Structure 1
Amino acid sequence: MPEPTPVLPEVLAQIRSVPVTEKPLIICDVDEVILHMTTHLEDYLNARDLVFLKYEYRLTGNIGGKSDRNPIGSDDVRRHLLTFFDEISHRQDMVPGADRALGALSDNWDIVLLTNLPGGHNKPVREKLLAGKGIPYPVLTNSGPKGGAVAALAAGRPGPVVFIDDSPTNHVSVSASLPASVQIQFIADDRFRQSVEKESHIDLLTGDWQETAAFISDILQGP
């Protein structure tokens, strides 16, 4: 069983700026959950004669040349990812229904967006894009597994806490750091979602915001 993940100091400073209310909490990822990412990244890679080698949840070792299929190194992957966000952060498409679902849920839930952006890369651009799409919730930037940040966000709040993310790594981390949370693995891209098996700590595996909103609404209804 993985050990609980500590919260990074720079993330804790952001968490302390988020108002705490008596509402239960939804902690939601951005890429591939609220905003499309893999389709945009695929277009970016194709323009550089690169492709995903498999539709599976990893980048390092899974991006290679279109013709030779040789994977590029981890440094090149990181460089391309940062360039990708520079070029696309201001124009990512929204996953259908995300704005309506979150808007309806916000009547009864606090919503915080927790996104992995190393060094807060392009955070203001991301906040502006989301707000312009009717998603005006606090944006916190994290790096690495999210368990510590989720546990820190949940501290002192009434339950329940719902965590929505596409990454298997982040869900394993949250399961270790806040096992009482309700975990929704949301993957917008059908190809990548079909490559993932529903683990025991996942309460819902989906790519549909209407299904997600209904599932979360039922939590407050009780048995």
Structure 2
Amino acid sequence: MSEILDLSHVTLSDRPLIVCDVDDVVLNFAAPFQDFLRESGHELLPRSFRLTGNIVSIATQEAMAELEVKRTIGAFFEAQETWQTPFDRVGETLESLAEDADVLFLTAMPPRFQEARRRLLDRLGLTFPLIASEAPKGPIMKRLHAERALPSVFIDDMAHNLHSVRDHVSDSLIIHMMPDSPLHLLAPKPDDSIVRAMDWPHAGELINTHIGRASSR
């Protein structure tokens, strides 16, 4: 059964739209997830950009089965409020951008974890609207932005999400952000046409230029 996406809580104004991924863009995922694994006697070996087959027992080096990997990711998301922390300057950058644009989060996770993520973001002062969905991000972005004659921006760490939005929303600024982690070094690279932001201040500069706003940095 396909996921029914409820966007009734999202109200956009007549301003540019900035849609931002959460895991490993706004909140650290890779590093705290590895700490979470070690608590149960496991580790993530950066042998390829996937979790199944690369999460192994520290004692035996036996790989965790696929179903157990999914259960472990779910357990981490249930405990995310204990483990996940924001990247440097994400809050101040988004707050500044929100003075002249609508900002919302589009996180790739099962909707059942949205409430915990909402609590965590709120506690960190990141109170922008949140959408939790496992559906492709391009069609969601298109549904949000529609045919509005306003600038739009999409930020993510995954090439397939970046390409999906690029293919569905014309003239959107597509920004690639990812943490400096051994696992992400193995990730598929986005097309050359997609710009890379090195950190949140850099992303802010790119977005300010795209939406025609003077930088506040």
Displacement of 1:65 after TM fit?
2.5
SS in 1 for 2:106: strand
The corresponding residue for 2:118 is: 127
Q: TM-score by structure 2 length?
A: 0.87
Distance 1:67 1:175 in 2: 44
| 1:73 maps to amino acid | A
Between the two structures, name the one with larger relative contact order (CA 8 Å, sep ≥ 6): 1
2:42 is the alignment partner of 1:50: yes
Q: Aligned partners of 2:158, 2:122: CA distance in 1, in Å?
A: 24
Paired with 2:182 and 2:120, the residues of 1 have a C-alpha distance of 26
Which of residues 102, 106, 113 is equivalent to 2:105? Answer: 113
Change beyond 3 A, Cα 1:36–1:63: same
Q: Does residue 170 of structure 2 align to residue 176 of structure 1?
A: no
Number of aligned residue pairs:
212
Query: Structure 1 residues 158 and 191, CA, compared in 2 at 3 Å: closer, same or farther?
Result: farther
CA pair 92-61 structure 1, distance change in 2 beyond 3 A: same
Change (3 A) 1:165 1:154: same
Aligned pair in 2 of structure 1 residues 199, 167: CA closer, same or farther (>3 Å)? closer
Residue 122 of structure 2: SS of its match in structure 1? helix
What's the counterpart of residue 4 of structure 2? 10
Q: Does 1:74 align with 2:66?
A: yes
% identity of equivalent residues = 27
Question: 5+ residue gaps in structure 2?
Answer: none
The one-letter code of the counterpart of 1:60 is T
The residue identity in structure 1 corresponding to 2:119 is K
Measured at CA, do residues 193 and 214 of structure 1 come closer, stay the same or move farther in structure 2, by a change above 3 Å? farther
Does the residue aligned with 1:30 lie in a helix, a strand or coil? coil
Distance apart, 1:125 and its partner CA: 2.1
Report the Cα distance in structure 1 between the residues aligned to 2:13 and 2:106, rounded to whole angstroms: 18
- How far apart, in 2, do the equivalents of 1:144 and 1:99 lie? 26
Unaligned runs of 5+ in 1: 1-7
Paired position in structure 2 for 1:4: none
TM-score scaled to structure 1, two decimals? 0.84
Counterpart of 2:210, as a letter, is I
